[in-house]
Chain A
Amino acid sequence: MNDMTPITTTLKDWESDQEVRWCPGCGDYAILKAVQRTLPMVNADPKNTVFVSGIGCSSRFPYYVESYGFHTIHGRAPAFATGIKLANPELDVWLVTGDGDGMSIGGNHTMHVLRRNLDCQIMLFNNEIYGLTKGQYSPTSRVGTNSPTSPIGSVDRPALPCAFALGAGARFVARGYDISKDLPEVLKAAYEHKGAAFVEIFQNCIVYNKDRFDDFTQKKVADDTQVWCRDGEPLLFAKGTKGLALCTDTLTLKVVDVVAREDGTPDWQAAGVAVHNVKNRGLAHMLVEMPFGVFPMALGVIYDDPRPTFESEVVAERAKLIEGKTADLGKLLAKGQTWTVEPQATHGLMD
């Protein structure tokens, strides 16, 4: 087998023979297609690809991809992925989780897989609701969400998955949404990042939290409410008529109007619009925490600054520990202070 031969697959090659069991109209269908589009783009090899998930609607995902897949237990997918990747660092590991699975019951593992920087792609499907258990509010639900467990509106403050990820030390943070045509590009960047790549994907729950993200995902509002972060490009939106600038007095971002030059191109320099830099951690924090409404929704690759992966560090540590040692079981068993009982002294153990 020649490892240099590029693997060529098509979307069809990544479709398993399993019947997809999500509700008709669920955002998960669009995400599944986006992933199946991405995998051929990055020359992924089905035999070396493993999808690992926890529990919830999103976690049924592995059954539908023609690769290896492990549908585990609630919240723990990062821990299984860690074992898989440490056992075989050659495998491409994708984690599929949701806002309940990854931010609530599994929040601890999400934090640790990010800080350790295990090489894997983490897709957190955020629908701001518990779907599979029939519609309770989740840790990302907005205050006031009506649900069977919050009949007059939830009172919990929501968690911000991307801010959590940055806080945990993630070296790659991106955002997309289910029906976005740019989602495969975001996933491709996540795949190409060596290390833990965290992607929050806003996903419409057609049954329990319908149209929750319409105010920025719908075509007619998208231009005015989405700012796409691209490395080295100005943070413009609303067809170049608005941008994000740094307010130096308060060290926060602000929305500024951008005037067009005579040739019609936006004169963003004059307006002081900031240029996106994927290695700027401070900027990333500001972008993911912008309150929506006053600000647009930041999408795309918000932060991407690789550092050595956990599994490569483990391999290096191991090499250091075993340097000059040979695996001699007989010697290992006889380690430490020993003594010999000579045959002539034999009387057998008394019993």
Chain B
Amino acid sequence: MASITAAREPGASLEEDSPEAVVVRFAGDSGDGMQLTGGQFTLSTALAGNDLATFPDFPAEIRAPQGTLFGVSAFQINFGSQEITTAGDAPDVLVAMNPAALKVNVPALKPGGLVIADTGEFNKRNLEKAKYESNPLEDGSLARWDLLAFDISALTLEAVKPFGLGNKEALRCKNMWTLGLALWMFDRDRQPLIDWLKGKFAKNPMLADANIAALNAGHAYGETAELAGPLKKLHIDPVPAEPGLYRTITGAEAVSLGLVAGAQLAHLPMFFGGYPITPASAILHNLVKMKEFGVTTFQAEDEIAAICSAIGASYAGHLGVTSSSGPGIALKGEAMGLAVMTELPLVIVNSQRGGPSTGLPTKTEQSDLYQAVYGRNGDAPMPVIAACSPADAFECAIEACRIAVQFMTPVVLLTDGYIGNASEPWKVPDPESYTPFPVSFLEETNNPDGKVLPFKRDARGVRPWIKPGTADLMHRIGGIEKGIDTGDLDYSPAVHQAQTDARKAKIDGVARAIPAQEVCLGEESGKLAVVGWGSTYGPIHQAVRRARKKGLAVSHVHVRHVWPLPENLGDLLRQFDKVLVPEMNTGQFKTVLRDQFLVDAQPLTKTSGQPFTIAELEAAIDEALA
């Protein structure tokens, strides 16, 4: 009898009906509500106390033509009774709402995994659109997997019949039917979902009732149907976790909350200038709802105006913030240089996506590292911080705010499409546990001879912040090179040399204000260091853990401060025979490490728009140590 195979740790013994972790992928048309189904399943899973990670994967088109291969939208969730750090490699269960969803997703399914398919959608027309010559549910081509095919469409129509919905509206409840079945399979409570549906359809109770009926019908189907074999109830034990209050959080939410917290810790109002772009828009959507924290949001006419307005607000004494994705950051480049030149604090969030140009708007990549570190005209050094998970994005956003105001500099915060959209459980932090970093503006002249010196640097090379509106401190700033201390127009050779050096020294000095690099798994020396940054944290961590269980001398080093790099990083890497740098680009961080430390960092690259799988990294570790 086939059963669901879990993503087990090698050697771990598991009871047949209580696997350690399960990966489920919901796939359907982009209009089928798969992201919503996945989101609600995530919530019920979190409430059941499992650790989890998700991977929403959807097309760039809002409503791609129905039934097509490129219109398939999928949501993958990995949940379990142990710490989960990735959305999982291969799914154990695939829910395919139509032939196209099956065709696109079934190759990833684990051998022996379970396919649940809606036969109601496997008609001639949909099979043709998915380029199937015969019906895969009937022709034996799915023999490698367990198959459960039944007419979810008809079952849903039957369940919602009493509510008198039109055929189209009634079929929209299919996703709730499917969710009901999934909740039964994994022993999840239906009540939070029912409450949520009542709230969502408060204005149309009939729709709420119909959706609840579909949910219950799906659940009841699992409970009562005489199904052989694969469809069996699975209970995943809760993860033993640190005590405290938890919620789920996406990277975009975490960045938004972290920015608000950062501004509060700086005792500053925050100004956010943004322009809609996938996948960064969510941050603007979130901040609009947080205005009671002194947040002003401005939807600008373009990316350039978004950053320029933020710099203007910083000049006027707010914490200016802007966010975008690669193409938008490219447009902001000149203004980022102005913020470097005028030495104003600013946070620039880049939710990276596949590039170049428009590239892959809804897929993930880490290919904007060069752009963040080097991508401006002139010598324009700027701190760069990279978040490694949705929850980590909260801490990184606070750190970006701190560095920006303490060093009067723009700071880039890198996340990516994966971190932005994925969700994970988050232990809600106590705001009191963070040390405030209040800003003080210059209120009186800093020059005994009278006239204010807006570019007089302190011991760390940092200039004072002076708000317009302050009496007697009137001065002018701009993008042209400026005299020492005075800031007056001066581009004589010695002055430009001195100011270029001063700007570089100031940013180099940030390295002394950040924590030393630690090894996050393994020893501080050994045969191999796997060095990552950003969202590759999860798969690297799991792969290194598995390799260590096999007895390999490998460690995981994950770098948050991409620029300037922690001062001890070079010495740390030299304690290893080999250094492997997996990243979702063609080897950008590898080049930075080689340049900064003359270490023989070897690249492991992937640019398919999909995150690394643990298996890929395990194989690379094995190869490096072979």
Contact = CB atoms under 8 A, between A and B. Distances in A.
Contact of B271 (A62, A73, A83, A334): A83
A62 B239 CA distance: 62
Given A18-B488, A73-B335, A347 B475 contact: no
Contacts of A69: 475-478
B462 interface: no
A88 B317 contact: yes
A63 B298 CA distance: 28
Contact of B334 (A16, A50, A73): A73
B53 to A, nearest CB: 14
Interface stretch (A284-292, A299-307, A323-331): A323-331
Given A79-B305, A87-B313, A351-B521, A329 B49 contact: no
Contact of A108 (B192, B291, B301, B476): B301
B308 A84 contact: no
A299 to B, nearest CB: 30
Interface string A211-232: 0000000000000000000000
B244 A341 contact: yes
B24 interface: no
Interface in A62-89: 62-63, 66-74, 76, 78-88
A165 to B, nearest CB: 16
Interface stretch (A135-143, A147-155, A271-279, A314-322): A314-322
Interface string B287-327: 01111111010101110111011111111111010000000
B469 interface: yes
Contact of A334 (B273, B428, B488): B428
Interface residue SS majority, chain B = mixed
A112 B479 CA distance: 23
B242 interface: yes
A329 B260 contact: yes
Given A79-B308, A84-B313, A332 B290 contact: yes
A71 B292 contact: no
B246 A86 contact: no
B107 interface: no
Interface string B278-293: 0000000000111111
B72 interface: no
Contacts of A329: 260-261, 264, 293, 431
B335 to A, nearest CB: 6
B309 A80 contact: yes
Contact of A71 (B238, B311, B467, B478): B478
Nearest to A90: B469
Contacts of B318: 83, 87
B620 interface: no
A333 B273 CA distance: 22
Interface residues of B, number: 79
B610 interface: no
A300 B320 CA distance: 38
Interface residues of A, number: 67
B312 A79 contact: yes
A76 B335 contact: yes
Nearest to B289: A321
Contacts of A85: 312
Contacts of A62: 476, 478
A348 B472 CA distance: 57
Nearest to B244: A341
Interface in B106-151: none
A82 B476 CA distance: 18
A50 B298 contact: no
Contacts of B246: 338-341
A47 B43 CA distance: 53
B474 interface: yes
Interface in A14-60: 16-18, 21, 46-48, 50, 52, 55
A350 B429 CA distance: 20
A347 B480 CA distance: 59
A348 B298 contact: no
Contacts of B36: none
Interface in B241-258: 241-248, 257
A349 interface: yes
Contacts of B49: 339, 341
Nearest to B273: A83
B301 A112 contact: yes
A345 interface: yes
Contacts of A108: 301-302, 305
A322 B430 CA distance: 23
B389 to A, nearest CB: 13
Contacts of B306: 79
Contacts of A81: 312
B83 interface: yes
B292 A322 contact: yes
A17 to B, nearest CB: 8
Given A350-B82, A351-B83, A87 B301 contact: no
A66 B469 contact: no
B471 interface: yes
Contacts of A6: none
B434 to A, nearest CB: 10
Nearest to B341: A73
Nearest to A321: B291
B83 to A, nearest CB: 5
A7 to B, nearest CB: 11
A346 interface: yes
A333 B428 contact: yes
Contact of B476 (A47, A68, A327): A68
A334 B247 contact: yes
B269 interface: yes
B474 A84 contact: no
A124 to B, nearest CB: 18
A342 interface: yes
Contacts of B260: 329, 332
A91 interface: yes
A68 B243 contact: no
A345 to B, nearest CB: 6
A2 interface: no
Contacts of B197: none
A346 B242 contact: yes
Most buried by B among A332, A333, A350: A333
A337 interface: yes
26 contacts: A47-B469, A47-B473, A47-B474, A62-B476, A62-B478, A71-B478, A73-B308, A79-B273, A80-B309, A82-B300, A83-B273, A83-B310, A83-B313, A85-B312, A88-B467, A112-B305, A314-B296, A327-B293, A329-B293, A332-B260, A334-B247, A337-B43, A340-B244, A341-B246, A348-B242, A350-B240
Per CB-CB distance, the 7 closest pairs between chain A and chain B, nearest first, are A83-B312, A71-B478, A79-B308, A83-B309, A347-B240, A69-B476, A87-B316
Interface of B: 43, 46-47, 49, 82-83, 192, 238-248, 257, 260-261, 264, 269, 271, 273, 288-294, 296, 298, 300-302, 304-306, 308-318, 320, 334-335, 338, 342, 428-431, 451, 467-480, 488-489, 521, 545
Given A47-B470, A332-B260, A349-B240, 7 more contacts: A63-B489, A68-B475, A69-B478, A72-B479, A84-B316, A339-B49, A349-B83
